[in-house]
Structures are given as structure tokens and as C-alpha cells.
Amino acid sequence: MKKLILAVSLLVLAINAMAGASNPAKSGAQPNIVLFFVDDWGWADMGLRQPKVFESPNIDKLMHQGIDFTQAYIATPTCSPSRGTLLTGQHPTRLELVRHIPNDEKHGFDKFGRTDEKYSYWEKDPAHVPCINWLPLEHTTYAEALKELGYYNLFAGKWHLGHEPYHPIHQGFDRQIGTSNAGHPKSYYPPYFKNSDVMADEKEAYLTDKLTDETVKFIDGWNKEQPLMISLWYYSVHGPHVGRKDYLKHFQEKGLTGSYAHYAAMVKSVDESIGRVRDALEKKGLADNTIIILLSDQGGAFDNPPFHGGKKLDTLYEGGARVPFVFNWPGVTKPGAVNNSIVQSTDLFPTLVEIAGGDPSDYKDLDGISLLKTIKNNSELKRCEPIYGFRAYEDLYGSVRQGDWKLLAYRSGILKLYNIAQDEGEKTDLAKSNPEKVAELKAKLIDWEKEMNVEKYSGVQ
């Protein structure tokens, strides 16, 4: 009997070992990672949240399969700053990257989007805050960190962090596809860019599809043993709003008009592309060991229900700063998981490093924290410090979010206070009825501005 029990025990152990080996999440194998970064895509702009307007079956499927982080924020909801922070885990103010990087002659750039001027200024910015014109090479990107841990890094799409000497290929990526000096294309149909040949013009070829074609081709030809990190940062759905012709016709027939019909068509094109990449991973046998991450660089350019604000107005309100963020890890995340923790784009770098087997504490000046335990357990993330927003365009420039409370700060000295848990639309300013909370968050903002070396531009001193 003892021999029988021993034999059964050994058999069970062998089966468990085989199961662990077949499940990379349990065996400890480094997972592949695909990061989809969509431009100007609003929190609710998907079929799952606005089914009467948008169609996004692949995004909806991804949301159902992974963790939906419902309170995810971009530190500086603007093109270049959002990208710099995603790459480095540092707040844009620490990077001196407080606005989008321009590429016009008015700001000292040539017709190719190049400049020797280190900083640019925004004429409407009341504080005249300087903004750096590229991401300096001395900053460690997640591509560089993951390369040290054995990863191959592919970058495809929108960079917007400086001209050629500062492109992805010089920032830790092994290959780049479709990277220009511009922040957006001239059109999503050829010619795509002014004074640039980064994507060969192909008659009637839609830019989003072109980027996806090249990425799928890369996946199909992948034959290395090392783990793979793909950063697919779409130019879409940034303007000019030019939807793919077949999808545009489809949404016009549904009753949408003007730029909004184009926008809905662009969202559907991105959705289709996400599905195509996932299909390619499945076909290649990589899907079971591939993490899929999806988020946006800022709120949408149109309405952002149920929130106030967006890309073009009151950007530090929820409509501009809160973005979709989905994390799907086969064998780890549970289908249909929803997490209401307050997370920020600064958290991605340490999360990726820890997932890849590294130690985030090896990197200095990180402003985010790893989400790995939160992702594995779908537990609430306990933040010791608030998250801060900062923009250098107009009067509204700063935000502090701690727990349910959010403070908005204006350079003119105005302070507004909202309880986001009770008022996610930020309709009722509670500053006058809660002076203690205003004072508490204001003091934190002042201390943070000193740490970031931007106190001389403050509106709350």
C-alpha cells in the first residue's frame, strides 16, 4: 500500500510539473509583452462603454479577458509627456517634458522637424515654463531595462520624443517601424507625412493598417528564443480625423456625421488591428505566454462621458486625464476582473521591470510603483503618496489625487476640490466647504513642486 501511495504521489508531482512547464505564468518563464498605446482615445470610446456609437469587439474581448483598471491616469495628458513617462517611469516635470514637442519653424524647427534648440516655449502659457525638445539619452527607458534582462524590443508607430538622434533605435529598441519626427501624420492615406519617407506611400493603404501589417509580418518571422517586447504606439486616433473609407461609410450609414463619423471609424480600425496582432501571436504559438497591455495617452478630442474635460478643454479634469487601461496576462489575470485602484502611467516602468525579473529599486528617480502584486491578486493598490498632474499650456496647470479627493490648481490662484467617488463628473466644487482638505492637498502640491524643481512656476505659493 505504501508503495502504491508513493507511486501515486510521484505521478501527481510529475503531472503538476508538466502543467507548470506548459503554463509559462506558473513556470516562471519570462513572458512576451505587447503594449498597445493609442493616441487621444477617450476612456469611454469603445463598444463596451458606448455601444450605440462605437464598435470594438476585439477591445471589448480584451477587457473581458483581463483586468480593467477603471481609475488610470496620465501624469501629463499630452502627446510627448505621456510617452516620456511611459518609457521612463518618471513624471514629465522631472523630465522637463511638460508639453508636446513642436516641430514647426515658429518654435525653431526646420521643415524636417529637427532643431538644435534644447527648449521651446508656449506663447499662451502664463508661466512661460520651458519644455525640453527631446528625451535625453541618459534616461533609462523600459526598452533598455528589459534589454538587460534578455528581451528583444520592437517599436512601431508614433514616437514624438525628438528627432533622429533621439529615436527609439537609440533608446533601447532593437528595431523601429514607421517612426517620424512628427506628432501626427499629414493624412492617414498617402502621403502620410510631410518631408518624410518613414512609411513608404502605398496607394490607398491606410496608415494604421500599414503599421499593423509590418508588426504582424515581424511576428510571423520571429524565430528567436529570447522574450519579446512589442511597443505598438498608434498615431491613431489623433487628428487629422480620417477614417478608413469602408468604416467611414459604415458609420455614416449608422447616422454619424462629420469628424465624429471619422473618429468612430478610426477607433474601429485600431480595434481591428489589435485583433490582427493577437491572431498573429496565436498563430505563432506565442499567445499563452504574452501579456497584452492597452492604454491611451490622454482623453479624447470629443465628448468624454461621463466626465468633464478632454484633450481640448480642462485637460486635467477626469475627461482628459483618465484613460482606458487594460492588462491581460494568460494564466494570471482572471476574466472579467475590474480594479478601482488609482494607478498612473508612472507605474508602468517598474511594473514591466518586475515582470521581466528585474528590481525596480535599481533605477533612480522613479515616480511610480510596481503593479505586479495588484495584477496577480487583483487587489487594491495602497498608495502612500498622491498622484500629481501637471500641464504648461493655460491657467489650469496642476492636480492632486489622493483617495476620493482631487484638487485642481490654477496659476491665477484658484483652487477647486472634488470628491471623485461621489462626483466623477466634477460638477460640484467643494473647496469652500472643505478648507482643511484644500489646505492639506495644497501643501502636498507645494512640496511636490519643490521636489520637481518647478516651484517658481507655481500658482499656489
Q: Residue 201's CB: how many other CB atoms inside 10 A?
A: 12
**Percent of the chain with pLDDT strictly greater than 90:** 90
Helix axes 207-220, 258-283, angle to 10 degrees: 0
pLDDT of res. 26: 52
- Dihedral through CA 329, CA 213, CA 47, CA 44, nearest 10? 80
List pLDDT tens digits, range 150-163: 999 999 999 999 99
Tell me the average pLDDT across 133-156: 99
pLDDT of res. 455: 96
pLDDT of res. 198: 79
List pLDDT tens digits, range 239-287: 999 999 999 999 999 999 999 999 999 999 999 999 999 999 999 999 9
pLDDT of res. 28: 63
**Percent of the chain with pLDDT strictly greater than 70:** 93
Per the CB < 8 A criterion, the answer to whether 425 and 308 are in contact is: yes
Burial 255-293 (b: 16+ CB within 10 A, else e): ebeeebbbbbbbbbbbbbbbbbbbebbeebebbebbbbb
User: Looking at per-residue confidence, does 29 or 343 come out higher?
Assistant: 343
Tell me the average pLDDT across 360-373: 98
What value, to the nearest 5°, has the Cα angle with vertex 390 and ends 388 and 396? 115
Tell me the average pLDDT across 435-459: 97
Helix axes 57-65, 258-283, angle to 10 degrees: 60
Cα–Cα distance for residue pair 373/438, rounded to 1 Å: 32
Tell me the average pLDDT across 16-37: 67
Domains in the chain: ranges and CATH:
29-380 (3.40.720.10), 395-457 (3.30.1120.10)
User: Looking at per-residue confidence, does 98 or 382 come out higher?
Assistant: 98
The 3-state secondary structure of 154-223, one letter per residue: EEEECCCCCCHHHCHHHCCCCEEECCCCCCCCCCCCCCCCCCCCCCCCCCCCCHHHHHHHHHHHHHHCCC
Using the 8-state DSSP alphabet, how is residue 347 labeled? G
Confidence class of residue 357 from pLDDT cuts 50, 70 and 90? very high
pLDDT of res. 18: 44
- What backbone phi and psi angles, to 5 degrees, belong to 238? -65, 150
pLDDT of res. 204: 87
- What is the pLDDT of the chain when averaged over all its residues? 94
pTM of the predicted structure, to 2 decimals? 0.93
pLDDT of res. 201: 72
HSE, side-chain direction, 13 A CA sphere, residue 302 = 16
List pLDDT tens digits, range 52-106: 999 999 999 999 999 999 999 999 999 999 999 999 999 999 999 999 999 999 9
Per the CB < 8 A criterion, the answer to whether 276 and 34 are in contact is: no
Confidence class of residue 202 from pLDDT cuts 50, 70 and 90? confident
Which residues make Cβ contacts (< 8 Å) with residue 364, sequence separation at least 6?
Answer: none
Could you tell me the end-to-end alpha-carbon distance of the chain, in angstroms, rounded to an integer?
80
